[in-house]
Structure 1
Amino acid sequence: MPNAVKKCEHYEKFKVYRDKILALHNDSLEKTIAIALSLCLLCAVLVSFAAVALKPLQIGNKELDMKKNILDVAGLLDADTDINQAFDERIEAKLVDIETGDYVENMDVAAYDQRKAAKDPAQRLAIPAEKDIASIRVKAKIAKVYLVKKGDAIQSIILPVHGYGLWSTMYGFLSLAADGQTVQSINFYDQAETPGLGGEVVNPNWRALWNGKKVYSESGEPVLGLIKGVVDSNKPGSEYQVDGLAGATLTSNGVTNLIRYWMSNEGFAPYLNKVRAGENQS
């Protein structure tokens, strides 16, 4: 009862103050400030309510967009593709220990967010400056990879890659054939490079140039990268080269560096070695 009495007293005081404000002249400074504050409070409540109410929808749309990008780089996306169905039927997500290349089986794959993990000191690794060619400073200990499968056979391996360009950290997926060597596609789903220049990393025509390129030299070093100008397919080594982005040298360098970093022993090389050896087949 005491709480109810206090609430009634507070409400009565509020009514008195409200009536006092409403009785003031419209040009009154006090009334203007009170109305403005009331509107701000109302808007804040509405925005907060909308944020909470729409959060599940936002999460669902984010997950759907990620599946769409994965299907795109896997070559499984058409205009009439049912994204959820195609993803569930053809794509298997796995968690990989970056240092060992082994699958991690005791974690929830669906719930794991690699980008969030990279921000958590307990889930990330600091990258020594001399090895940080992708300019990312830290990386998650565990990576989420995607296997495109037909039955039990792996058709392609989709690896998350990221690195700094000119203006932004570029996040994307690199799709490799089951040999862990031959590129099928690349897709940058999050980047803020200069439109028409570095932003051409999302151009389908440029992305198509990656198909069939090789990641590793005969000695096993990651050598795939962008060059200045256009690749001459008749010259030796052209299988390791992709046309550079015209007028975007720093973005081009960034793409080269992030590919070579993530394909090195600092990235997915230990995992790909085990895939090629038949140790990571499921």
Structure 2
Amino acid sequence: MSFRPNSLSGTLTVATVLCVVCSLIVSGVTVGLRPLQAKNEELKKKRNVLAAAGLWDPEKHSNADVPKLFEQIETVLINLPDATEDAPEAGTLNDTLDPATYNPLKAAKDPAQNVSIDPETDIAGIKTRERVATAYVVKKDGKVDQIVLPVYGKGLWSTLYGFVSLDADGRTVRGITFYQHAETPGLGGEVDNPRWKAQWDGKIALDDEGHPQIDVVKGTADGPNQIDGLSGATITSVGVENLVNYWLGPDAFGPFLDRLRSGELQIAAN
């Protein structure tokens, strides 16, 4: 019996074959591109770490410069507060996981690797977070110059992901950047505006007792811990304030920063 492509059965057969072939092609391309996508994501992350530390100039640098620039940065893992029995002491360096392969964002979604946040203290609105977080140590002249910390939390429409860099004193902001969000362009999306980000440099993020005190205000910021709010984007502004204060606070990087300021924790600058 000859194949009749114009018949109902023939049309269905052709459509099925085309769907299968196209699916195989798409799947093959997706699998083939996965290593490239992972490489690009890693490159993007490193660019943003460099940007938060003030070491990246988009007008002067290209992706080819990232490996060389990143030579002055050491990636470390930090044990965050964890009520689990036999959990490592909060704020200490983690030496059991590999910083090169550990993914904190995946860990934050994995019940075996995350902790639930008390709703009363979850000012960042993220519900769960990782037990072990990544940090980046910027070295200069053989000494620790900055500590770049990942931060994330809810804005108006999305979760904002970024980095905050602190001076070696563990209190003074050196820079901030956001690399992923879906806030409204021209409003909350102004978190990407270089002029808005520039005002963070030199702000005192924690008081003398180590309590987070970043205050994103309406109007003109005139305090050492204050940042001008984003015009027309009150919820995003409050979200940024909350997520920064959460991650620098006692439920996240606070114990690590306490140890750093007291000199109890020494990070060798190789």
Q: Structure 2-normalised TM-score? A: 0.91
* C-alpha RMSD of matched pairs (Å): 1.3
Query: Per-residue deviation at 1:222?
Result: 1.0
Measured against aligned partners, the alpha-carbon deviations of 1:216-247 in whole angstroms (never above 9, x if no partner) come to 2234321112001221x3xxxx1110000111
Residues 210 and 254 of structure 2 are in contact (CA less than 8 Å); yes or no, is this contact kept in structure 1?
Answer: no
Identity of aligned residues (%): 47
- What residue in structure 2 maps to residue 12 of structure 1? none
Residue 278, structure 1, aligned to residue 263, structure 2? yes
**Mapped contact 2:104–2:133 kept (Cα < 8 A):** yes
**One-letter code aligned to 1:61:** N
- Decide whether the 8 Å contact of 1:225 with 1:259 is kept in 2: no
Note closer, same or farther for the CA distance 1:108–1:220 as it changes in structure 2 (3 Å cut): closer
Q: 1:266 aligns with which of 239, 251, 267?
A: 251
Q: 2:69 aligns with which of 86, 103, 107?
A: 86
Alignment-mate amino acid for residue 43 of structure 2: L
Give, in whole Å, the separation in 1 of the partners of 2:128 and 2:215: 22
The DSSP-based 3-state class of the residue aligned with 1:192 is coil
The Cα shift of 1:151 comes to 4.3
Query: Cα offset for 1:138?
Result: 0.5
CA distance in 2, matches of 1:193, 1:187: 14
Q: Which has the larger radius of gyration?
A: 1
Structure 2's unaligned 5+ residue stretches are 82-89
Following the alignment from structure 2 to structure 1, what is the Cα–Cα distance between the partners of residues 12 and 178? 48
For 1:166, the equivalent position in structure 2 comes to 156
- Is 1:33–2:15 an aligned residue pair? no
Does structure 1 retain, via aligned residues, the 8 Å contact 2:212–2:248? yes
**Distance in 1 between residues matched to 2:239 and 2:252, nearest whole Å:** 16
4+ residue runs over 6 A deviation? none
Deviation at 1:97, TM superposition (A): 0.3
**SS in structure 2 at match of 1:116:** helix
How many pairs does the alignment contain?
255
| Range 202-211 or range 216-225, more displaced | 216-225
Aligned to 1:204: 194
Q: 1:32: how far off?
A: 1.6
Match of 2:46 in 1: 67
Which one has more relative contact order, counting CA pairs under 8 Å at least 6 apart? 2
1:55 maps to which residue? 34
2:240 and 2:32 mapped to 1: Cα distance? 39
